[in-house]
A and B are shown apart, each in its own frame.
Chain A
Amino acid sequence: MIKPVSGAVRFQDFENDKLKNKIAYVPQSDSVDWDFPATAMDVVMMGRYGHLGWLKRPGKEDKSMALEMLEKVGMRDYASRQISRLSGGQRQRVFLARALIQHAEIYFMDEPFRGVDAQTEKSIVGILKELKQQGKTVVIVHHDLQTVSDYFDWVTLINLRVVANGPVEEVFHEENLGLVYGGLGLLLKGAV
């Protein structure tokens, strides 16, 4: 987590340092070396490390939790598979399971739908909706305008700086999209 240049970040009365277990982050799946000697299970287990802290080893409970999360993202059968032998969509799901096991309050995801198959996208969206029902916050970097209205409640349009920010139905319209993408916006939305 990046330290703020100035000031402090607060969330539910927790300040910077205490925040770490409240926030889960799902990076783009090409951010790591997938040739690393680890299994899908190993990677999901890493999501528990933050709760464990320094030196403490994961135990049985952590293991069963990891299996549960793999089950949830439909990857239970691949638990002991080496990660280089997973497809793009499967890798993304493993990363999602690693975030879920953190039991965070806010989930940040960097383009979780990039390069995944339709089925994975659907199952990820299902899990995200579930998180929402549990009262969690999910923040996603997303570039597919056609699915915005279906997936999200709140949207922030960014082009170098924040162009618009608000509920999808109020903010996500042609005028703002034009500001972000120029003439391309209407085309991308595919809704004209």
Chain B
Amino acid sequence: MDTLLALFHDYTFRTVALGSALLGVVSGVIGSFAVLRKQSLLGDGVSHAALPGVVAAFLLTGSKNTEVLLLGALLTGLAATFIIMSIVKHSRIKFDGALALVMSVFFGLGLVLLTYSQKIPDANQAGLKRFIYGQASTLLERDVILTAACGAVLLLIVILFWKELKLFSFDPEFAEAIGFSTGKLNILLSFLIVLAIIIGLQTVGVVLMSAMLISPGVAARQWSDRLWLMVVLAAGFGAASGVLGTLLSSVVPGLPTGPVIVVCITAVAVFSLLFAPGRGILHRIYRRKKNSARFKAERRPKL
């Protein structure tokens, strides 16, 4: 208990925990819409596409400032999204095919650039690799402030466009018919997803970020039939996992923070899928058993 208390007084712990919690809130909220819009995989594409952006930003500017690197990630992330959408729109290739194509090409390019940057003499590229698997322990106060600022903007946009996002996620055809441009809404939602991913790169990394985005929404959907409640729950699940993951990795030596956070939120999602009342798998099995028992009882001839 004392170690726990001491931990909460520890500056580094508080910084990392706060950063991870903020990330959890943002990815929970935005991820909910990605899940409902059935664009869960877009997050995966975007996060992998962020890698070449990070390395290219470093190669071009020589800077290792998080802001600069993430700006690069933002640009390639948006570019990848745009290319995926264009392929879907202008060819017969479906979303999943376009995604697989773009994702692997961008990630491959990222690895090529990364290897190249290691070979340049005098270029100290150490620290770039943290974006692949994430390194929450390197979070600084200014990173947390950056996360908070971006997160605030994202949440504000969601609140402002709540009605439109809801409509667009449920029935885009109808949205278009009553005068809400689905093109614009698609860009808006994609932008939100890309930005949410970028925020999490330093903490969770390119490879695991999409799980961070999707899991809170998947878990929350199990517990509520109301959109607002689902989004709030997802934010809560995300935040709790962020703090819990940081805690576990601080207490148990050798556990990497980012991946532990992802394991936590995935555990929440799995638990919800199994045990949530109504939608949970166990509840469904129970209901089916009960029904078939009742059916049998009713069918038995009464003498």
Contacts and interface: CB of A to CB of B under 8 A. Distances in A.
Given A20-B177, A84-B225, 6 more contacts: A21-B178, A37-B36, A37-B221, A39-B226, A56-B163, A98-B174
A27 B174 contact: yes
Chain A interface size range: 20 to 34
Q: SS class of chain B's interface: helix, strand, loop or mixed?
A: helix
Contacts, number: 76
A159 interface: no
Interface of B: 36, 38, 160-164, 166-167, 169-171, 173-180, 221, 224-227, 229-230
B174 A36 contact: no
Nearest to B170: A36
A54 B169 contact: no
Contact of B177 (A25, A32, A42): A25
B294 to A, nearest CB: 20
Given A37-B224, A38-B227, A57 B36 contact: no
Nearest to A52: B163
9 contacts: A1-B176, A31-B171, A36-B227, A37-B226, A46-B170, A52-B163, A54-B161, A84-B225, A98-B174
Interface string A28-65: 00011100111100110011011011111110000000
B163 A37 contact: no
A102 interface: yes
A42 B225 CA distance: 12
Contacts of B170: 32-33, 36, 38, 43, 46
A46 B177 contact: no
A38 B165 CA distance: 13
Contacts of A37: 36, 221, 224-227, 229-230
Nearest to A53: B179
